[in-house]
Amino acid sequence: MANSSTQTRYRVSGMDCASCASKIDTAVRRMDGVEDVSVSVTNGSLTVTHADSLGSDAIARQVSRLGYGATPWDRGDGKAGNGTDDRSSSHDDDAGAAGQAWWRSGRARLTIASAAALVVAYGIGLVYPAAEHWPFLAALLVGLVPIARRALSAALAGTPFSIETLMTIAAVGAVLIGATEEAAMVVLLFLVGELLEGVAAGRARASIQGLADLVPKTALVERNGGTAEVPAATLAVGDVIVVRPGDRIPADGEIVEGSSDIDESPVTGESTPKRKGEKDVVFAGTISTDGVLKIRVTATAEDNTIARVVRLVEEAQESKAPTERFIDRFSRYYTPGVLVVGALVAILPPLLFGEAWDEWVYKGLAILLIGCPCALVISTPAAVAAGLSAGARRGMLMKGGAVLESFGRITAVAFDKTGTLTEGKPVVTDVVAYGKTEREVLSMAAALEQGSSHPLAVAILERAKAEKAPIPPAFGAKAVSGKGVEGNVGGVALFLASAKAAAERASLTPEQVSRIGDLNGQGKTVSVLLAGEAVAGLIAMRDEPRDDAKAGLASLKELGIRTVMLTGDNRKTAEAIAAGLGVEALAELLPQDKQRTVGELQKEGLKVAKVGDGINDAPALAAADIGIAMGGGTDVALETADAAILHGRVEDVSRMVWLSRAVMANIKQNIAVALGLKAVFLVTTVIGVTGLWPAILADTGATVLVTANAMRLLGWNGR
C-alpha cells in the first residue's frame, strides 16, 4: 500500500529574498518523503506536501539548519518551535516584521554587534597601530562566522553557489592578501544590506496583512434577549450582531434592522459612504458612520470578504510570473558564472602577463561581491507582490504573477451584459400617467405588488419607496397566470399587466400604443396599469447600466483596447444598452455562442479578456486569455476565472491593465538598475578604480534601490 501524504504549511522567519527561498526549496525538496514544495517570499510561507512518515518537525529542523525559523502556520506567533529554534545566524527572525521593531530582530542584533566590534577595532588601531590586524580579524569573525555557517549548511543542503558562499570566499581571500580591515567592513556592509532587505520585505508582507487588521477583534452579539461581547473569530453564520455608530463591522452580513451610511473606503477605496438599510449586504471591516445596525452574519471569520482577499493574494503570490521564472533559471547559471569570472580575473593576468598577484586576486574578490545576485533575483517578485497587494486593496484580485503580466498585453475585452455592464436587476425608468399623477400610478401599482418577490415587482416597490408614494392595502390581489396581477384598491379594480394582456381588457389609444412601442424600442419592459377599463398609466423598467460602465468602457478605448458586449438578451434590448454605452453588441447568444465568439476574436490575433459572472459564462471565461469574474464581495466566482473584480466596478478592468503595465515597467527598471550597476562596477573594478567596499555597496545599494522601487507600487493610485 502506498504511503498517504499530507500538506503542512509553515511560517518562515528571516526569508526576505528569492535567494533565501531557493535555498529553502532545494534543501527541503532533497528530503526523503517530500513530494512537492512551494515557497513564497512575500508571504513568508513554506508549503510542503510530504509522506506521513516524514514528520513536520523534521522539515522544520531542515529549514532551521539554514538559519531560518519555521513554525506551523496556524500557530501564528511567529516564533519557532518543535525543534525550529536553532538560532545560529542573522536570519533568525524578520526585521520589520509586523508587531516587531526592526532593531529588536536577531539580524539587527548581529549587525549592531558587528558594527560595535569594528568601531572597537578602529579604536585599538589608533592606539596600537602595530596590533590592528588582530582586532579587525576579530571584528570580521563576529559577522563572518554566522554567514559561513549558513554557506556551509546551504552547500550541504544542495545550494553550493549561494550569496553567503561568495561573501565567505571574498572575505577569507581578503584576509589572505592582507586586506583584513576591508574584509571586516565588507561583512558589516553585507549585514546592513540584509537588514535593509528584511525591513523592506517585512513592510511589504505587512501591507496585505494589514487588511486583516481592519476587522475588529470583538463583536456585540444578541444572546438571550441582551447583547454580549464575544471574539469576532467565534461568530457563526446566523448570529445577529449589533454595530453602533462609528464602529467597524466585524463580519460579512445582511442588515436586518436599522440604516446607516457605510464607509467602505477601507475595503473598496470608495471615498463616498453608501446609505444601506434592511436586506442590504455589508462587509467586514467597513464602518457604520451614523446609525445603529443589527446584522445577520453570513460568513465566518475565516471566510469573510477580507479573509478571502488575504488568502487569495497569498495564494497568488506563490504563483510565479513568466519573467520571474526566467530570472530564477538565469540565476542558477549566473552565480557559478560569477565564480568562474572572478577566478579567471584573479589568475590569468598574473599567469599570462606577469601582473602582481595581490592586485588581481583583490580584483577577483571584488568581482565576486559585484556578482551577488540578490538585486537581480528580487527585481521581479518584489514588484509582482507589491502589484498584487495594491490591486487586492482596491478589490481587484489576480490569481498570480502570470495573470498580472498578461493583463498588460490584452487587446480586446468581451463583457457579459446582465450583472456586469448592468446592475443585474430591473429598475423603473419611466412612469407615464393618464388622468392621474405619476405618484398615484406608482402607489396603485405598488399596492398590487406588495409581498411579491418577482424582480419587476421589487423594482416597482423600490421606486415607490424612493418617491415616498403611499402604499394602500389591496383586497383580493391575485396573480393572473402569464398576464399580470389584479386586485381592488380603494374600491377601484386594478389590473397591472403586459401591454398585450391589457389590450385584451381595454382599448389602448394610438398614442398609448406608440408610446409603448417607443419604450420597447429602448429595450424596456412596459407594464400597463388599468383602473377599471381605462388606462391609468404605463410603467417602464429596464436593467440599467452600472454608474461607471460608460466611463469604464471609454477608458479601455483610450488604452487602444477593443470592447464588445456579449448577451443572451434580445437584440432590441442589447442594442439599446450598447448604444448608450458606446460598445459593440452581439445578442441572443447561448453560452457556447459566447465561447465561440471569444475564439473568433482570438483568431483575429487579439488577446482577449472575458468579463462575466463566472457561472453561466464559464465556457467563455475558460476560453479567454484572461477570465474575469465580476463579483459581489462575498460571492466571487474564482473557480473558472483568473481574476475577480470584488466591487462590481467596470472601470476596474482598465485599472487592472494600468496596474499590469505599471508593474512590468517597474520590473524593467529594477532589472536595468541591478544589471546596470553591476556592469559599471565590473568595468571600474577591472581597471582599478573601485575595490571591495564599492563592490559590496553596489550590490547592497542595488538591492535596496530595487526593493524601494518595487514598494512604490503599494501606493499605486489606479492609473
Residues annotated as catalytic (active site), given as ranges: 416
Cα–Cα nearest to 486, from 442, 524, 448, 513: 448
Q: Is the dihedral of CA 374, 377, 379, 382 positive or negative?
A: negative
C-alpha cell at 324: 520571474
User: Could you tell me how far CA 158 lies from the centroid of its own chain?
Assistant: 33
Strands 260-263 and 287-288: antiparallel
Cβ atoms within 10 Å, residue 210: 15
Instruction: List the strands of the sheet with 562-566, edge to edge.
Output: 396-398, 643-645, 626-630, 608-612, 412-416, 562-566, 584-586
Strands 422-433 and 534-545: antiparallel
Distance between CA atoms of 116 and 105, rounded to whole angstroms? Answer: 17
DSSP string, 165-211: HHHHHHHHHHHHTT-HHHHHHHHHHHHHHHHHHHHHHHHHHHHHHHH
Is 538:526 a contact under the CB 8 Å cutoff? yes
* DSSP structural state of residue 14: S
Cα–Cα nearest to 378, from 707, 14, 25: 707
Long-range contact pairs involving 80-85 (C-beta distance under 8 Å, separation at least 24): 80/13, 82/56, 82/57, 83/57, 84/57, 84/60
Distance between CA atoms of 113 and 90, rounded to whole angstroms? Answer: 11
Q: Residue 554's beta-bridge partner residues?
A: none
Number of helical (H) and strand (E) elements in the chain, helices listed first:
22, 26
- Per the listing, cell 548581529 goes with 110
Helix axes 163-176, 180-212, angle to 10 degrees: 160
The two most distant CA atoms of the chain are separated, in Å, by 117
Cα–Cα nearest to 278, from 260, 264, 251, 265: 260
- Per the listing, cell 526523503 goes with 32
Distance between CA atoms of 632 and 613, rounded to whole angstroms? Answer: 9
Cα–Cα nearest to 685, from 363, 238, 395, 271: 363
Cα–Cα nearest to 279, from 267, 294, 261: 294
Strand (E) positions, 232-361? 240-243, 253-257, 260-263, 274-276, 281-282, 287-288, 293-297
Q: Residue 48's beta-bridge partner residues?
A: 8, 37
Distance between CA atoms of 63 and 39, rounded to whole angstroms? Answer: 12
The radius of gyration of the chain's CA atoms, rounded to the nearest angstrom, is: 33
Q: How far is CA 316 from CA 92, 142, 230, in A?
A: 26, 39, 32
